[in-house]
Amino acid sequence: MPNHAYPVELTAPDIEAYRQGNTGVEFVTTFDSGRPGPHVMINAVTHGNEICGAIALDHLFQAGVRPLRGKLTLAFVNVEAFLSFDVNDPDASRLVEEDFNRVWLEERLDGDEDTVELRRARALRPIFDTVDYLLDIHSLGTYSEALTICHGHKKETDFAAKVNYPGYIMAGSGHVVGRRLIEYTPFNDVANDKVALLVECGQHWAASSGTIALDTALHFLRATEIVDPAFIENHMSADAKNPDTAQMWEVVDGIWSKTDQFKFTEDYIGMEVIEKAGTVIAVDGDEEVVTPHDECLLMMPNYKPGANMRKLRLCKRL
């Protein structure tokens, strides 16, 4: 298996200037055009070690982004985790006590449990409740190509297709434990038009992930039609300006390790398409793990050791 100690090619920005914000919630700033339109929000550092989103938001702040209509909110989410980021141990700052992106169940948000991430989620919840379009910026553990994730409702896949960046749209969960922010009830309700998308911008600390995070944010803002197109044109990288039509795939299953002896048969990084059903892609103890159908895309392989851990998501083309 490959050595998964990746170089840190990005520099985490100093976000202290954004602490006060203007919403009553630290590190959350809303720009209100004063004109009718949607409330659009972009999140960074849902996981504290995924710094590309912080770089994108810092760029938007520095560039003076403002909405022509509606509202635009920029938020640094799991700040306590992010502020512990150490270039010499970059994985250690993913979370403080638990995964912020698994707590979005009403029974937990309304319950008596007390963790750093739950306290932050409860503070942010009233803001999320007012949002029409949300982009949650993440990154990946391997050098996979970038991808957008949505739960899979038509309102989400339609809007993701309108954003059309990066080049893959992945619909479904692959058996997530807990509930992700993009599946929080207001966004997951088919009776409204609220949409939340999650983007994985490539390997956590690859230089390209900072560029992809900003380009995705700009494509997202273009699709919401609240920001001057000239601003988007001026700040988007040349490679992102005329993307091909994004491929759309459905996440049909998740592979979980049963033993601590789980090993992939090849050095998969993600987004490989395995042509034939029944192809062995991993061995878990004495058991072979095979593809369930032809043209099976392997999404987000996980090389961290251990049993009872999600190792892969399996996808079919839509």
The pLDDT profile of the chain, 318 residues, written as one tens digit per residue, is: 344 589 999 999 999 999 999 999 999 999 999 999 999 999 999 999 999 999 999 999 999 999 999 999 999 999 999 999 999 999 999 999 999 999 999 999 999 999 999 999 999 999 999 999 999 999 999 999 999 999 999 999 999 999 999 999 999 976 678 999 999 999 999 999 999 999 999 999 999 999 999 999 999 999 999 999 999 999 999 999 999 999 999 999 999 999 999 999 999 999 999 999 999 999 999 999 999 999 999 999 999 999 999 999 999 999
Please name the residues in contact with 4: beta carbons below 8 A apart, sequence gap of 6 or more: 141, 142, 303
Q: Are strands 247-256 and 310-317 parallel, antiparallel or unpaired?
A: antiparallel
- Domain span(s) for CATH 3.40.630.10 in the chain: 16-245
Task: Please check whether residue 40 is in contact with residue 163, taking contact to mean a CB–CB distance below 8 angstroms.
Answer: no
Q: What is the predicted pLDDT for the residue at 173?
A: 79
CATH number of 16-245: 3.40.630.10
Q: How far apart are CA 196 and CA 176, in angstroms?
A: 16
Domain with CATH 2.40.50 in the chain: 250-317
Q: What pLDDT shows up at residue 2?
A: 41
Question: According to the model, what pLDDT value does residue 198 have?
Answer: 98
Architecture of domain 250-317: Beta Barrel (2.40)
